[in-house]
Amino acid sequence: MEQVMKNFFLFLSKNRSLTKMAKKYGLRFGAGRFVAGETIDQAVQVIKDLNQKGLAVTIDYLGEFVDNAAEANEMADNSIKAIHAIGREGLNSQLSLKMTSIGIDISDELVMNNMRRILEAAKEYNIFVTIDMEDYSRCQKTIEVFKELRKEFDNVGTVLQAYLFRVENDVEDLNAYHPNLRLVKGAYKESPEVAFPEKKDVDENYKKIIKQHLLNGNYTAIASHDEAIIEYTKQLVKEHNIPNNQFEFQMLYGIRPERQLELVKEGYTMRVYVPFGTDWYGYFMRRLAERPANVAFVLKGMVKK
């Protein structure tokens, strides 16, 4: 039943009509738990609160299904506005973005121009930018763009997904760039021809690439709410005398907030992924797909209303 629900919400996440409807009606039906408002001003208040609790942040201006240059440029402009807000307010925050929102499906020239604009703006404030990984069809292209940008910028990283068969080779291939990588399990529905279908296999592969990247001496963000993965990482760094400034834990805004604060108290860097914007629907559906408990939370909220 859990897999059926996951597939259902992943299917809904790709529905363009529902995406447009969600933009029109705003943050309702429980999405406000996972999305920090529709404007940068609302997001700034959330970041300030998290920073005061000792939590670092990465902010993401949400956007999907961008299919024209004007909208892609506007999305890039909004990321730059977010960078200026972070710098102006002196916030402990990085920026994350999806390249589908700034033109990767439209043209190489467009996405590279927008990425360079964003990274130049971030460089002014010493802000790090992470290129999120999306579905498998865009994986190789994302890595190619990252490699090209890494030759020009120090303040850029990307994401690798443990459920893909190729990921171990990708970790090794990227090692030459000394990359700052966020390692995740993966949240898209993929073919068993390219991804592990069983959770236990994904978990084992996740542990393997965490160890691989850390022992390569590179900065590693372990983005997971899975307690077994968190404990594995703690034991691994202890066993190999890896300093705390070589890695961090990351979790999503609205999920396991108490555990996030506990990790801060334990002396670890804990970064919260904070999305904002009107184009929240696809992101929200993927959060519902990940955990049945999230669905129960939303249904409870709807009944209360």
* Residues sharing a CB contact under 8 Å with residue 147, sequence separation 6 or more, in sequence order: 174, 177
Question: Taking CA 272 as the corner, what is the angle to CA 278 and CA 124, rounded to the nearest 5 degrees?
Answer: 80
Share of the chain above pLDDT 70, in %: 80
Output the CA torsion sign for 157, 158, 160, 166: negative
- Annotated active-site residue 132? The verdict is yes
Q: Which of 60, 132, 170, 203 is catalytic?
A: 132
16 is catalytic: no
Q: How far apart are CA 253 and CA 50, in angstroms?
A: 10
Indicate the residue type of 92: N
pLDDT per residue over 215-263, tens digit each? 999 999 999 999 999 999 999 999 999 999 999 999 999 889 999 999 9
As a whole number, the mean pLDDT across the chain is: 87
The model carries a pTM of: 0.86
Is the confidence at residue 158, as pLDDT, over 60? Answer: yes
- Measured in whole angstroms, how far is the alpha carbon of residue 195 from the centre of its chain? 19
Band of pLDDT at residue 206, cut at 50, 70 and 90: very high
pLDDT surpasses 70 at 294: no
Confidence of residue 33 (pLDDT cuts 50, 70, 90): confident
Give the architecture-level CATH label for domain 36-279: Alpha-Beta Barrel (3.20)
Question: Which range is least confidently modeled, 121-135, 162-176, 185-199?
Answer: 185-199
| Portion of the chain with pLDDT greater than 90, in percent | 74
Catalytic residue among 182, 271, 286, 287: 182
Looking at the DSSP assignment, which residues form a beta bridge with residue 96? 60, 130
Count, residues in the chain: 305
Buried b (16+ CB within 10 A) or exposed e, 256-279: eeeebeebbeeebbbbbbbbbbbb
pLDDT of residue 92: 98
- The rounded distance, in Å, linking the Cα atoms of 194 and 147 is 22
**Residue 295: what pLDDT?**
46
Which amino acid is located at 294 in the chain? N
